[in-house]
């Protein structure tokens, strides 16, 4: 099994995906263990002094003015975890919780938190055992980090609350730890706070969304090319020299992908003798511009994620010179903004795909295709309601594109008077990514059927490879009306698994 070694200088997106989705094992580097021990010596020295130090010998948030006596500090750390584990609503997905815990461990191992090495090792042990704390949908405002979600994880480390075992069954966390030989942690000064105070949930969800969207944007270029082909459009608008004079890198990549898919097509360019149609509609002609702008948005989001993956997000932090200083690095704004920005790009990519699907189904705009791609229009409804479903998804995506980060709601008696809502931005982006896959699946379903209805015209080799693969996956071609939901579900699974990209790349070469 793949092993991820956590050091003092952050982790990579690949590390996050390996732990969150593939169950990779975690090891702490010797360097990380040494840094943990050194930072803990600083915290212990400060804890022994009579002067109050925030997070070490004081209360938290609006209660930070109280100096806590030594005999109450262990109780204080337990209490902050118990009281902050106040989430409600449905359970958060296993991969999100694993990413959340792993990214918290990444910051702990930086040596800036003051957590003891044995606490960090317990975090790794819990992940390696396949134990997943029960974390709820609601509770994070994305400032002072993802407090409630991280608190539910910390509760598991203490042997309290509920967690899911490797068998998928939810049980008391204490039982699961005991079965795997893991001793619950007894938190000391600052440790409870250090386990709660980070942007780890929203960052983990951003990393996973970016990985999924890398595949979906390639898939969108393919479905756009298939629709262009089915509509007898022209591929001249994809010429590299046209995109070189507007040098957005994402736009050039999208155009190159579409051109690669369409190479050798016998369907493109037929409208040139059709006087009323001197150019294709925007949803066809501007596909690279829209998909390209989204790609460039993803590139910016990756840059933010990379910086955050290299960060130590905690408050207060232990500095190499021995100071323990308060800061505002836990604020989720940098991550929240790009989560919302990506959701906007996702909604627009889905929107343009839906417009192409609608064009394929409208006999007045499809250039010779039957109404709704039906076998016997009037007797058969064809894909009429498949487009309704797609339209409903796009409408939902537009609502999900409303930025969460433009909102703020004060908390903690006005001490935390401006928050990022980054967790909410991340949660809605996950839904948006799922819905984009569904929208592209409907376009794929319609475009492949439409191409097969163009009798006497030969599609591009890459297009034919896509058609053959999707048919082999159980998605049926033209014919009389049938129960559509299973076909659409199969197309969704095909797109979501990256199989559309896998089908065409042997013909086109690697897509961008």
Q: Active-site residue 138, yes or no?
A: no
pLDDT band of 35, cuts 50, 70, 90: very high
Q: What is the mean pLDDT of residues 8-25?
A: 97
Q: 354-399: per-residue pLDDT in tens? A: 999 999 999 999 999 999 999 999 999 999 999 999 999 999 999 9
Average pLDDT over residues 237-265: 98
Torsion of CA 86, 92, 96, 101, to 10 degrees: 30
Work out the average pLDDT over 418-444: 98
- The residue-averaged pLDDT of 78-100 equals 97
CB contact set of 116 (below 8 Å; sequence gap of 6+): 36, 37, 40, 188, 191
The residues, any chain, with a CB within 8 Å of residue 494's CB and separated by 6 or more, are 441, 444, 469, 470, 473, 475, 500
For 241-255, 269-283, 471-485, which range has the lowest pLDDT when averaged over its residues?
A: 269-283
Banded model confidence at residue 59, pLDDT cuts 50, 70, 90: confident
Candidate from 50-54, 101-105, 387-391, 423-427 with smallest mean pLDDT = 50-54
Under 8 Å between Cβ of 192 and 173? no
Cβ–Cβ < 8 Å for 230, 267: yes
Please provide the average confidence, as pLDDT, over all residues in the chain.
95
Catalytic position from the list 54, 217, 337, 388: 54
The mean pLDDT of 296-310, rounded to a whole number, is 98
The arithmetic mean of pLDDT across residues 299-304, rounded, is 98
**Rounded Cα–Cα distance for residues 402 and 339 (Å):** 11
Reported pTM = 0.96
pLDDT tens-digit map of 228-247: 999 999 999 999 999 999 99
Averaged pLDDT, 39-66: 84
C-alpha 404/C-alpha 339 separation (Å) is 9
Taking the C-alpha atoms of 295, 297, 298 and 300 in order, what is their torsion angle to the nearest 10 degrees?
A: 130
User: What pLDDT score does 272 carry?
Assistant: 60
Q: Among residues of the chain, what percentage have pLDDT more than 70? A: 98
What is the per-residue pLDDT for 273? 58
């Amino acid at each position: 099994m793949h092993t991820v070694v956590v050091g003092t200088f952050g982790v990579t997106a690949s590390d996050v995906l390996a732990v969150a989705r593939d169950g990779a094992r975690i090891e702490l580097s010797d360097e990380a263990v040494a840094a943990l021990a050194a930072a803990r010596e600083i915290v212990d020295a400060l804890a022994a002094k009579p002067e109050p130090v925030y997070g070490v010998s004081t209360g938290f948030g609006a209660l930070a003015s109280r100096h806590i006596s030594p005999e109450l500090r262990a109780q204080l750390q337990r209490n902050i975890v118990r009281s902050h584990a106040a989430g409600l609503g449905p359970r958060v997905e296993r991969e999100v919780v694993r990413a959340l815990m792993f990214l918290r461990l990444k910051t702990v191992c930086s040596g800036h938190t003051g957590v003891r090495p044995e606490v960090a090792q317990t975090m790794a042990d819990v992940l390696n055992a396949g134990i997943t704390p029960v974390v709820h949908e609601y509770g994070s405002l994305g400032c002072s980090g993802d407090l409630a979600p991280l608190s539910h994880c910390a509760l598991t480390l203490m042997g309290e609350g509920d967690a899911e075992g490797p068998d998928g069954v939810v049980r008391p966390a204490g039982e699961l730890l005991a079965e795997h030989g893991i001793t619950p942690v007894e938190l000391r000064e600052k440790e409870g706070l250090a386990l709660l105070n980070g942007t780890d949930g929203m960052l983990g969800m951003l990393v996973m969304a970016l990985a999924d969207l890398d595949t979906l944007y390639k898939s969108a270029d393919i479905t756009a090319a298939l629709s262009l082909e089915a509509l007898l459009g022209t591929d001249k608008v994809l010429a590299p020299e046209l995109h070189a004079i507007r040098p957005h890198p994402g736009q050039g990549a999208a155009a190159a992908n579409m051109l690669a898919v369409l190479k050798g097509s016998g369907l493109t360019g037929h409208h040139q003798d059709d006087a009323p149609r001197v150019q294709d509609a925007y949803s066809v002609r501007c596909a690279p511009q829209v998909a390209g702008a989204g790609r460039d948005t993803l590139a910016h989001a990756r840059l933010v994620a990379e910086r955050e993956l290299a960060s130590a997000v905690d408050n207060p932090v232990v500095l190499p010179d021995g100071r323990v200083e308060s800061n505002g690095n836990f604020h989720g704004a940098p991550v929240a903004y790009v989560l919302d920005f990506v959701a906007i790009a996702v909604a627009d990519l889905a929107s343009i795909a839906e417009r192409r699907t609608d064009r394929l189904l409208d006999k007045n705009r499809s250039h010779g295709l039957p109404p709704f791609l039906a076998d016997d229009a009037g007797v058969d409804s064809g894909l009429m309601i498949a487009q309704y479903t797609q339209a409903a998804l796009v409408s939902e995506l537009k609502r999900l594109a409303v930025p969460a980060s433009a909102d703020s709601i004060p908390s903690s008696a006005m001490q935390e008077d401006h928050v990022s809502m980054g967790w909410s931005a991340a949660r809605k982006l996950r839904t948006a990514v799922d819905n984009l896959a569904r929208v592209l699946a409907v376009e794929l379903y319609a475009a492949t059927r439409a191409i097969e209805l163009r009798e006497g015209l030969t599609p591009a080799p890459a297009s034919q490879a896509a058609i053959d693969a999707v048919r082999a996956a159980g998605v049926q071609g033209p014919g009389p009306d049938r129960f559509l939901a299973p076909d659409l579900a199969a197309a969704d699974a095909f797109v979501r698994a990256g199989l559309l990209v896998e089908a065409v790349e042997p013909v086109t070469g690697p897509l961008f």
